[in-house]
Amino acid sequence: MNVRKIRRNILLGRDLEINDRKAERWKTMMRVALGQSKMVTRPVAGIMHLFIYAGFIIINIEVLEIIIDGAFGTHRILKFLGGFYDFLIGSFEFLALLVLVACVIFLARRNILKLKRFWQREMTAWPRSDANIILICEIFLMSFFLTMNAADYLLQQRGVAHYTPAGAFPLSSIIAGWMIHSDTQSLVMIERFCWWAHILGILAFLNYIPYSKHFHIFLAFPNTWYANLNPKGYFTNPENITREVKLMLDPSETPPASTADGSPQRFGARDVFDLTWKQLMDAYSCTECGRCTSVCPANITGKQLSPRKIMMDTRDRLEEVGKIIDTNKEFKEDGKSLLNNYITPEELWACTTCNACVEACPVLIDPLSIIVDLRRYLVMEQSSAPAELNGMFTRMENNGAPWAYAQTDRLKWADEK
């Protein structure tokens, strides 16, 4: 149900057609989402994330066998694969250990080393807890998996009925040494408990993901497919603004499009409804890793701007709008908006539009596009801009250039030579 709500919320955004350069989009998705190419630009975090990512995908293949064994009362039904099955179980065990170690290191980085990007002002109690919950769950799941295999291994060695020999256990056989003095009944109970804990833990984990930032596990794939493939720094010309200009030059031009209630379409964005569905998908795809904020020159120099906060605020406002729709069956004005109530003009004007945040994002999120659209609204709808920019706008209107010189004086520098 929550997945349907997320889809509905994303589709509250403006229409945007993205279906060009399909071959390049598939290649980008495979390289970035599946291949984790942008994660490894920071090798330590990238490699550990790769372990967790591979473990999440590959180890859960074992869940299929667990479910089949539970449904039909079999024991390791895939053992007919012979030597390949031994290879699979051994690989799963090494991956489980790597996942476990990576999660412990990530927990230490967040809670003991307290890396700056995990403790900035937008990282309040819930975002920090959310990350810790997932990491602790992964540690427990991998521990249950290895302990289950260790008990299974001992039961196989003892020739207990139902536990027919199957699989190779290079790591859990070592763990089994700690349980070797346990009686058979205790081992069966340990194996059954870990079996149930592992499968129920995974099912609970999958249900929790849509309520968590970790929904990026699934959204990373469509988000990278629909990513902006234009060169960094390429700005779009909003259609309604283009039509306004054309209308000024040619009164026969088609008037700008209106919104559903008949009012003119806004210049720029004030609330989530004014953003595109792709920008809203970006908000839900954010991993809150903070790479964007850690490279933002405005943030580094102490300014209020944090690109991660821009994405988190957009998602929070979208969630708030979704709850209003759930309650009233439609959106009823609540006196709030993304601009001002969540994101302040001070944050927006701190942005230098350098694209460092866009370049740093491991799933190709574009915080800059939201910042620019919100700034467009401030300038074109509210005539609200810093004094320095208002002066420049005035000079461009009067002189055709941002400098305080009349057009007739432009070439005086040449006469001075």
- The tens digit of pLDDT for each residue in 368-398 reads 999 999 999 999 888 888 888 888 888 888 8
User: N- to C-terminal Cα distance for the chain?
Assistant: 74
The C-alpha atoms of residue 287 and residue 53 are separated, in whole angstroms, by: 13
pLDDT at 399 exceeding the cut of 90? no
Task: Note the helical H segments in 112-124.
Answer: none
Q: What is the pLDDT of residue 101?
A: 93
Q: Are 110 and 290 in contact (CB under 8 A)?
A: no
Q: What is the pLDDT of residue 83?
A: 84
H/E segment holding residue 100: helix 83-111
For the segment 301-309, the average pLDDT, to the nearest whole number, is 95
The C-alpha atoms of residue 201 and residue 141 are separated, in whole angstroms, by: 7
Q: What is the pLDDT of residue 256?
A: 63
Q: For 189-246, how does the pLDDT look when each residue is reduced to its tens digit (9 = 90+)?
A: 999 999 999 989 888 888 888 888 888 888 999 999 999 999 887 888 888 788 878 8
**CATH number assigned to the domain covering 226-399:** 1.10.1060
Mean pLDDT of the chain: 88
The C-alpha atoms of residue 406 and residue 395 are separated, in whole angstroms, by: 9
Q: What is the pLDDT of residue 324?
A: 94
Highest mean pLDDT among 35-39, 135-139, 233-237, 306-310: 306-310
Helix axes 184-208, 61-72, angle to 10 degrees: 120
Of 310 and 241, which is predicted with more confidence?
310
CATH 1.10.1060 domain residues, the chain: 226-399
Q: What is the pLDDT of residue 348?
A: 95
Of 388 and 94, which is predicted with more confidence?
94
Q: What is the pLDDT of residue 387?
A: 83
Q: For 278-303, how does the pLDDT look when each residue is reduced to its tens digit (9 = 90+)?
A: 999 999 999 999 999 999 999 999 99
Q: Are 152 and 66 in contact (CB under 8 A)?
A: no
Burial of residue 408 (number of CB atoms within 10 Å: 0-12, 13-18, 19+): exposed
The C-alpha atoms of residue 227 and residue 16 are separated, in whole angstroms, by: 12
pTM score above 0.75:
yes
For the segment 15-24, the average pLDDT, to the nearest whole number, is 92
Task: Note the helical H segments in 210-366.
Answer: 216-225, 239-249, 277-285, 291-295, 297-300, 307-328, 338-341, 345-349, 356-360
Of 166 and 292, which is predicted with more confidence?
292
The C-alpha atoms of residue 63 and residue 195 are separated, in whole angstroms, by: 10
Residue 30 DSSP label: I
329 Rama sector, left if φ>0, alpha if ψ -120 to 50, beta otherwise: left
Residue 225, amino acid: W
Q: What is the pLDDT of residue 59?
A: 74
Q: What is the pLDDT of residue 260?
A: 57
